[in-house]
Every structure is written in C-alpha cells, then in structure tokens.
Amino acid sequence: MAIIRLSRKAYFHNLDIIAQKVGAVSKIAVVLKDNAYGHGLLEMAKLSHEYGIKEAVVHNVNEANEIKEYFEKILVFAGHEYFVDEKLCYAINALSQIEKMPRGALVELKVDTGMHRNGVAMDEVEKALSQISEQGLVLKGVFTHNRSADTLSSEWFWQRKNFEKVKEKVLALQAEYGYEIPRFHSSNSAAAFRFKEFDEDLVRVGIAAYGCLEMDETLEQPDLQPVMTLTAQKIATRTLQQGEHVGYNATFRAEKEMVVSTYDVGYADGLIRAASNRYTTPDGEQLLGRISMDNSSFTGAKEELVIFENVNRYAEAAGTIGYEVLVGLHPEIKRVII
C-alpha cells in the first residue's frame, strides 16, 4: 500500500525559519485547509500544537471542529454554516454574508485589494463595518490576500499600498462603530518572505510550512524542507524483452531487456496521469507507461519505492503545481509521523 511519511524534524525546521522571519511563533497561523494540503488534518494539527502554534486556518466548519482541541483560535475561510463559538472566527467574503451570521459570532473582514476573487471591495469597507455592527457581530480582524507575492513584480507593493489604505479607513472608523482595534494581516507564505522587517499582526502560512514554497529565482529562497514523502510497495516484478510494452495502450516500448516492477499507487490515490512516461523518482527509477487507477510501473525492483520527496518535481512532470498534487492525495492513504 502507499504510505505518506511526515517528517516532524522538517516541519519544525520550517516553522523555525518562519518564526524567525516574522518575529514570533505567536504570529503564525498555520493553514490546515483541505486536509492540511493533503498531509493529513489531524496529523498536522497535532504537530502544530506540539510546536506551540496557537492559531489555524481551515476551509470550513467541519475541518474546524475536527481540530478545535489543538488551537486557541481558528479562522474559517468559507462555508455556509455559522455558530457562536469562542474559538471560531468566520471570514466575511461578501456583504451578503453578514445578515446570515448569528449575533455574537466572531468575524474577520476580508477586503479585495486586487485579487478580485473574494472579499468586499475597498469602497465597501465602511458599509461592511456598519452592517457588522448592526448585526451584532464581533470584528476581530481585517485581512486580504496577495495574488502575486511569489513573483518578481510591482504587484506585491501595489497591494500593500492598497491594504494600508484599508487599515487607515478601518482605524478611522472603528471607534465610531464601537469596535476594538482589529488585527490586520495580508501575508501568505510567499508574502512573508518579501518583507525586510515583518510588520503585520499575523502570517497565514501554508505551503512554506510544508516545505514546498516556490518563488521566482530573484526573490529570497528560504531553506525549507519538504515534510512529506510518498512511498509505495511493490506488487510484482518482471523482465521485459526488447520490443515489449508496458501498460494501457502500449505507450512505453522497451529498447532493451529491462527489469520492471509495479507498485500499489495510481491515479485513484492522487497521482496525476499526465506524468505518465515523463517522471523519474528521487532514486532514479523511471515511470513507465500510463499510470493506472491503482498501480504504476517503474524501472527496478525495490520492495518500497519513494515516489516523491519534493512534490514540485512530480508536479512539473505532470504539467501542474505541487498544490494540486498534494490536495489530490487520497485521505485514506496511511499517514505516519516520523
């Protein structure tokens, strides 16, 4: 069976780098949405708690409820269920959400500073603050999201200036609407490493914590380590003769006699079929033929094969990004902390 191994040492190493960059462990909110980017929601929640992380970010209430015991505060990005809970804080992504939330619910207002995906418009901030007050919600934070922080361009600076305008507006209005000063945050993983001196209240760190951050070469390259290793067990070994083929539609043809083995991992487990015939494992074994639903063929005869350590190398062969591969890994694959 396929196994996902999670390195405690690598995860803590990455969190050390992030904490040093932003100034304190208390400023880190670890993003655990979508099964912790495929690493395992409970596994990564436990490791984060062990390290001393107090806050998490999730996709919906179901995820939040699974990990509540490990954190003091959890920011819920999306969903349509809202409850008054001292640990849960809900992102407001549109004005229409506000009237659906129960009085006393904790909220954070997301403002669209240029991503044009979720969040109220910058010119809707005062209206949002008014409606939040009228609805009896408790405003705990104001945040935004960067669209190009991992790219060398002026956009990161442009969005920072937009968010500064948002901060000024909120601070000018917070007393009028009876709010305590909320926390402000805009930084995802990439944005955190764009600061010379980090000056926000919080960083929402996802892909960097898992050691898979990719930035333009001209930007800072933190020494992060991949947390996940995906391995698979051998099913069978055979010797191919010159001219014989492997897998569906005979897309691989042996140019010489060679040893080939099948392993118990396929696209049902989350491997992306587009990587067929295009990928080489960290140990130098070639992926042969088309990936099947439940197994794949590689050169060699190892009993256990490392499929990938750095997911970005596999994603490159599949013509996608590491995020897509990670979140597509089947949740029933056994995850082991080492």
Residue spans per domain, the chain: 3-205, 228-337
Encode 33-48: b = buried (16+ Cβ within 10 Å), e = exposed. bbbbbbbbbebbbbbb
- The answer to whether the beta carbons of residues 272 and 292 sit under 8 Å apart is no
- Is residue 19 pLDDT above 90, yes or no? yes
* Per CATH, domain 228-337 is 2.40.37.10: yes
Q: What angle do CA 287, 289, 295 make, to 5 degrees?
A: 75
Taking only the tens place, the pLDDT of each residue in 66-90 is 999 999 999 999 989 999 999 999 9
Crossing angle of helices 155-173 and 125-135, in 10° steps, is: 50
The class (CATH top level) of 3-205 is alpha beta
Q: Which residues are catalytic?
A: 33, 248
Per-residue model confidence (pLDDT) at position 250: 96
Tokens encoding 130? 């008014």
| Tokens linked to 150 | 């991992």
DSSP characters for 46-70? HHHHHHT--EEEESSHHHHHHHGGG
The 10 Å Cβ neighbour count of residue 220 is 13
126-178 per-position pLDDT tens digit? 999 999 999 999 999 999 999 999 999 899 999 999 999 999 999 999 888 88
Question: At 110, which amino acid appears?
Answer: K
DSSP state of 231: E
Q: Which residues lie closer than 8 Å to 123 by C-beta, 6 or more apart?
A: none
Q: Average pLDDT of 301-323?
A: 97
* pLDDT above 90: residue 47: yes
The whole-angstrom separation of Cα 231 and Cα 238 is: 20
Listed residue (189, 99, 183, 176) closest to 143, CA to CA: 183
What is the distance between the alpha carbons of residues 55 and 75, in angstroms, rounded to a whole number? 8
This model's pTM is above 0.75: yes
pLDDT tens digits, residue range 236-254? Answer: 999 999 999 999 999 999 9
What is the rounded average pLDDT for all residues in the chain?
96
Element (H, E) at 250: none
| 8 A C-beta contact, residue 333 and residue 269 | yes
